[in-house]
Structure 1
């Protein structure tokens, strides 16, 4: 049975052992993601509780609005990403997992707060180079026309500016 709730925390203080599923819904403003995100953030969580630990698997979905780095058009970027974290009640149980996948919590902890983890995983899922489509042609460097929408009439000159100094020497020697 999947529990649906509208905040990014899960009550664990009275949780029975076993696997529990949750669908968490949040607005980007609750995570401080107001600049590029307007759509609801959905987090599907599978939480397995044992006597010694909690194992969380989460998948995060949302959509951001960005400007293409090549052509400057606005485009929607769907984000689908996931992460896993193991919460151990004892530090000895956490020594065999990487630090970014392991946390130690007190046995009386009432809630798991997922807000920071969800915000971080969304920001890490945004590529450094934002491209609207794989075959984006970008802007013409001479006239600035968006080459995805119209044909540019500029003559393309395929030169490497690092060799411009050599080209001037050749011109001087020929005269």
Structure 2
């Protein structure tokens, strides 16, 4: 994630009240993420941090375009995203089960929002992404059909199951 320090927000010494931050997410953000489902992006992030006596309230506003590969033809696809999310950071050494509450140990003096930005963008795109009918890469589709058909020839009994397991199909 493009220099994780860019997303580090110190809260120690910060005055009480609201503080605004803006970030630009580009393809470099994802370079260090080896297994990212997102290939690239052109996204603007507005983050408002409200400091209170016992907690911080973070409000994310994320808007832009995210690029991910098509699950069928592997060409890049673009998805517009628009996310509004509120998160509470509480000063506490205990762990929290609430997904909208993050406890900050008393030893910490800053928060890093890079991971949260990535998570919010990831859940904003569909889990299965395929082009509309007729928009997929025809060359790749013909290759897929060629290999799927040859695999069926290699395994002619693929649909047959072991009769010992057939009784399990009737269990409900």
Contact 1:37 1:63 in 2 (8 A): no
* Counterpart in the other structure of 2:84: 82
Q: What secondary structure does 1:100 align onto? A: coil
Over 3 Å counting, the alpha-carbon distance change for 1:137 and 1:103 in structure 2 is same
Q: CA deviation digits over 1:51-91, x for unaligned, max 9?
A: 11101011223423334456776432122223221111246
**Higher helix content, 1 or 2:** 2
Q: CA deviation digits over 1:18-51, x for unaligned, max 9?
A: 1111102344444445764333443211111111
* Counterpart in the other structure of 2:63: 61
* Counterpart in the other structure of 2:12: 13
Larger Rg: 1
- Find out whether 1:129 has 2:131 as its counterpart: no
Over 3 Å counting, the alpha-carbon distance change for 1:137 and 1:20 in structure 2 is same
Over 3 Å counting, the alpha-carbon distance change for 1:138 and 1:23 in structure 2 is closer
Over 3 Å counting, the alpha-carbon distance change for 1:59 and 1:73 in structure 2 is same
TM-score (structure 1 length as normaliser): 0.58
TM-score (structure 2 length as normaliser): 0.59
The aligned runs of 1:98-113 (5 Å cut-off) are 99-107=98-106, 109-113=108-112
Contact 1:7 1:26 in 2 (8 A): no
Q: CA deviation digits over 1:4-25, x for unaligned, max 9?
A: xx81121211110011111023
Moved more, 114-123 or 104-113: 104-113
Of 45, 48, 53, which aligns to 1:46? 48
* Count of equivalent residues: 132
C-alpha RMSD over aligned residues: 3.4
